[in-house]
Amino acid sequence: MEQIFHFIFLLLGFVLILLAAHFTAKWVGGKKGRYGVYKYFNIIERMSLGGESFLYLMRIGGSIYILGVTKESIQVLDKLEESDLTVLSATGVPNAFAGVLNKYLGFKRTDADEKTRNEEHEQS
């Protein structure tokens, strides 16, 4: 019987340690925000292009900038206005950042392109 109480005590201690770690991580993460808190600009979104290459969507003042960032350089790709962005819900709708990027780079996907892409994906 004493072994059962000892086991329950150890199990409760383990659960309490896990809960403490969870809430501590949540508290520390909430202090910094997703990418950090900055006074004059904020990072709206980041998209990995593979390796050490990223696209950043940044708000500086009233303007939005698309930045290309690699290990060697940072380049401003385009400047947008706030009205150019559309916030999409997380219900399976395509990524808003990719949509804005495609719009400004001139890529337009048609229904035929989407159908072909789905067929190629099913064949592989």
pLDDT tens-digit map of 43-102: 888 888 988 899 999 988 878 899 999 999 999 999 988 777 777 655 455 556 776 777
pLDDT tens-place string over residues 27-40: 876 655 555 567 78
Please say whether the dihedral angle defined by the alpha carbons of residues 21, 25, 26 and 31, taken in this order, is positive or negative. positive
Q: How many CB atoms are closer than 10 A to CB 64?
A: 19
| pLDDT at 56 (0 to 100) | 92
Q: pTM of the entire structure? A: 0.45
> Taking the domains of the chain in order of start, what are their residue ranges?
1-32, 41-123
Residue 77 tokens, joined:
């790709």
DSSP state at residue 83: G
> What region does 61 belong to: left with phi over 0, alpha with psi -120 to 50, or beta?
left
